[in-house]
Structure 1
Amino acid sequence: MTTPPAPRLRSHRPAWAGRNYTLLTAAAVVTGLGNAGALIAAAFAVLEAGGDGGDVGLVAAARTLPLVVFLLIGGALADRLPRHRVMVAANSLNCVSQAAFAVLVLSGEARLWQMAVLSALGGTGQAFFSPAAEGMLLSSVTRQQAARAFALFRMGMNGAQIGGAALGGALIAVVGPGWVLAVDAAAFAVAGALRSLLDVSAVPRREPGGGMVRDLREGWREVVGRPWLWSIVVQFAVVNAVVGAAESVFGPLVAEDHLGGARPWGFALAAFGAGTVLGGLLMVRWRPRRLLLAGSLSVLPLSLPSAALAVPVPVPALVTVMFLVGVSIEVFGVSWMTALHQEIPEDKLSRVSAYDWFGSVAMVPLATALTGPAEEAFGRTASLWGCSALILALTLAVLTVPDVRRLRRSETTPVAEGGPAAEDTAPKPVSPR
């Protein structure tokens, strides 16, 4: 008697979501949950050690500085070495540094300089990780499904950060910041293990390069040779700095003086997070033909929070504004990732991503440091109106770039790294620009 074959279990994973995409998304959710709580825990650890607000800022700056310094090197390295190995090595560094941070805090012997050094190691790990991770993600899906894949990825990441911040805050109140840092270290270990399972058998062999400097020059040429790319990178170098300064410094001050304290500001930030999730859902379905025109128009609402704080508007209005901004920024984010996926050659993705990341974070510490002098020189209200006007002016300037308005979505499907089967894909054309 022949035994009938066992029934195959149906996978709930979409057919286009290959092994690499699934692993990358799962790992991003795990680290998002851990990191969101750890950022809060680090601040409370400094305060519990006897530090003040300036010390909290010092430890935060210690993380940002190596991120800026090493990003471009990390991008060049990720296009030279197998990207998954760079990612796992960076996760290992983050795991060790956060574990050491946790041990120091739990022992009650943490010194400010030790926390700053460990934060700097965390920033170094992120500098090498981020370009490699973005390059790996961009090459893990086909062009036909890129927008949907990136929208779902960002939804998972944003949702994890929202949940991680809420969970981290609760855990800090119950067990203290040290254990939250320990959880983050474990999250990095799990994420590194998942990323070590990435399938790179379909990755084309990298030709030996002419050195790090040459690799960086090639990445720079990819950026400056595309007006849509460098103009938006320059735009967001300023926009991110202005938004970061307004939300991290002016937002809490306005909330304390006019809105009733920290809780309403927390509601506003939570509304922004909820908006990003809804924006991701929107981009799963919506496929704008002119990618960057739709994305750049969606940047205009980023001027609204600064204006709302300048008035200041009542709490319900501020919460509504932040929710709408969360939706709009996801429209830009998915459109931007789709454009990079479509236009940038696979072997240069990480270097271009590194220049993009560099532009996004390089001016944030400077802008944050200048908020105090700006408030003294012009007043808080005028400074906030200035932030809003600067975002509007830069975005309108970017919309005058012909390539930003004209770049269209292509449905041609390139070869995906570890993605769907080869017969479902076609080679990715190199942009002639």
Structure 2
Amino acid sequence: MSSPRSDLLRDRPFALLLTARTLSMLALAFAPVALAFGVLDLPGASATTLSTVLAAESIALVLFTLVGGVVADRYPREQVLRAAEWANAVLHIVIGALLLSGHAPVWGLVTLTFLAGTAGALVWPAMTGIVPQVVPAHSLQDGNALIGIGGNTARVAGLVAGGIVVVAIGGGWALIAAGVIFAVAGLCVGRLRLTRPPQDDVPGPGMLRELRVGWSEFRSRTWLWVCVLQFSAFVMVWQAAHLVLGPVVAKTALGGPGAWSTILTVESCGLILGGLVAMRWRPAYPVRAVVLLSFLGAPPYLLLGLHAPLVAIAVASFFLGFAFEMLSIFWQTTMQREIPAESLSRVSSYDALGSLALGPLGIILAGPAADAVGAQRVLLVCAAVMLVASVSSLSVPSIRSLRARPDVQSLPPAPDSPADLGPAITLPQ
């Protein structure tokens, strides 16, 4: 008898979704090291320069995430994902070409990363909403875990290859390679066709009305918005530490891009193990587990701030990856089970908006703060904020008490369910 996971892997729509997501993660893995050190290698660049470039992408994500949620609930999600993949392909190739020219104006990089953030704002809501369209209800956690494992395995390969390319010939070529991979992912998405439910032949509600419905679903669940507040603070300092301060410390104290690539690669190995464990562990209180796992976010940045050796930082980063992949899977699965399917992408967009809202502030402040008082001291503050945010969230009763819905029994899917349409159905970040 075949297992539910092997059945998923043989299902054509899920295989397309998994392939596209894996390719996207491979492309994205090239970007952090390539862009960070590509910018820092520009004439006259500083930590503030890097903050400015990265903040543009984060600001775009915040500005357009709600729009992405409405778009993903209104239009076929596979088409939304395909458009985002191809936009990322073009933008990464252009950024790489600019860095290779050696004359990349900061305003040009800011514009391009802002556009990349706009494309990214479409991805998360669409991806969260499309998984339940492809995966049977009783296999949601397995489906999320398999997608995570595929993506994180690609992430490890991409970080290793990206680090080698950056050290050998610079970040520009790594970004161009990422663009090509995004284009292939877009082709995979283009082959996915999902059956949409019948639509009434009347105009749908306006965007503001749709946003109000999504907001009502979001704010009615205390466990949801409290965790989003926690991760708003969490992401603010994580983006500062992971995108700006970490590379700065790696360049000045750990030996450069090779060291930072090592840290990111080890972290990604933890992500893979976290995905494997999440396929087995079904916590009875999933949101409580999410918050408890978030405590493992602080140690890597605490160690970076304390001038710890590379090995210690890498070990802490492994456990960060291990914890964050599990909490991400538990969180997505809980949302997919608790939120009505017709508003899932909009609620997910509020989740993403709230979580990312303070990210630009963290990135903008990180560079000047590092230039003023030193990156290590700022990293210690980042670690402290993470711990305080996790403790505060855990004190809320509904977070500790929300029980997991029991899995739907493994019955054969109904004839019109997505899982049964595999051969007839002529997939992302």
Pair 202,19 (structure 1): closer, same or farther in 2 beyond 3 Å: farther
Count residues in correspondence: 413
Shift of residue 44 of structure 1? Answer: 5.0
Q: Say if 2:413 is the partner of 1:420.
A: no
Measured at CA, do residues 183 and 69 of structure 1 come closer, stay the same or move farther in structure 2, by a change above 3 Å? Answer: same
Is residue 32 from structure 1 mapped to residue 25 from structure 2 by the alignment?
Answer: yes
- 2:7 pairs with 1:15: yes
Letter paired with 1:34: A
> How far apart are residue 140 of structure 1 and its match?
2.2
* Paired residue type of 1:73: V
Counterparts of 1:113 and 1:177, CA distance in 2: 18
Alignment partners' CA distance in 1, 2:388 and 2:247: 25
Alignment pair present for 1:41 and 2:26: no
Aligned position for 2:300:
305
Q: Which stretch shifts more, 239-248 or 219-228?
A: 239-248
SS in 1 for 2:122: helix
Letter in 2 for 1:24: L
Structure-2 change in CA distance of 1:57 and 1:320 (3 Å): same
Q: 1:51 to 1:36 in 2, by over 3 A?
A: farther
SS at match of 1:285: coil
Q: For residues 29 and 349 of structure 1, what CA distance do their matches in structure 2 show?
A: 23
TM-score under structure 1 length normalisation: 0.84
Structure 1 stretch 242-251 or stretch 297-306: which is displaced more?
242-251
For residue 276 of structure 2, the aligned residue among 269, 274, 281 is: 281
Q: CA deviation at 1:349?
A: 1.2
Asked if the contact 2:159–2:264 (Cα under 8 Å) also holds between the matched residues in 1, the reply is no
Equivalent in 217, 220, 226 of residue 231 of structure 1: 226
Q: Which residue of 2 aligns with 1:345?
A: 340
- Equivalent-residue separation in structure 1 for 2:249 and 2:175 (angstroms): 30
Q: 1:219 aligns with which of 200, 209, 214?
A: 214
Indicate the residue corresponding to 1:71 in structure 2: 65
The residue correspondences of 1:137-156 to structure 2 (distance < 5 A) are 137-156=131-150
Contact 2:249 2:376 in 1 (8 A): no
Alignment of structure 1 residues 100-111 onto 2, 5 Å: 100-104=94-98, 110-111=104-105
Aligned match for 1:246, one of 238, 241, 250: 241
Matched residue of 2:134: which SS? coil
In structure 2, do the counterparts of structure 1 residues 184 and 277 end up closer, same or farther at CA, with 3 Å as the change threshold?
same
C-alpha contact (below 8 Å) 2:56/2:360 kept by paired residues: no
SS in 2 for 1:210: coil
- Distance of 2:340 and 2:327 partners within structure 1: 21
- Determine whether 1:326 maps to 2:318: no
Equivalent AA in structure 2 for residue 65 of structure 1 = I
Q: Which residue of 335, 355, 360 corresponds with 2:330?
A: 335
What is the letter of the counterpart of residue 26 of structure 2? L
Work out whether 1:403 is the aligned partner of 2:398: yes
Matched, 1:193 2:187: yes
List per-residue Cα deviations over 1:30-51 (Å, max 9, x = no partner). 1221222134334455466645
Secondary structure, in 3 states, of the residue corresponding to 1:318?
A: helix
Partner-residue secondary structure (3-state), 1:299: helix
Is the partner of 1:201 in helix, strand or coil? coil
Does structure 2 retain, via aligned residues, the 8 Å contact 1:272–1:325? Answer: yes
- Give the aligned CA root-mean-square deviation in angstroms: 3.2
CA distance in 1, matches of 2:281, 2:249: 36
Cα 1:247–1:40 change in 2 (3 A) is closer
Q: Aligned with 2:7: secondary structure? A: coil
Q: What are the Cα deviations for residues 161-194 of structure 1, in whole angstroms up to 9, with x where unaligned?
A: 2211221232344555444333222222211121
Please list the CA deviations of residues 139-177 of structure 1 after superposition, one character each: whole Å capped at 9, or x if unmatched: 321232111211121111122122112212323445554
**Distance change >3 Å, CA 204–CA 22, structure 1 → 2:** farther
User: What letter is aligned with 2:17?
Assistant: L
2:195 maps to a residue whose letter is S
CA contact (8 A) 2:92 2:179 kept: yes
Higher relative contact order (CA 8 A, sep 6+): 2
Structure 2 residue aligned with 1:131? 125
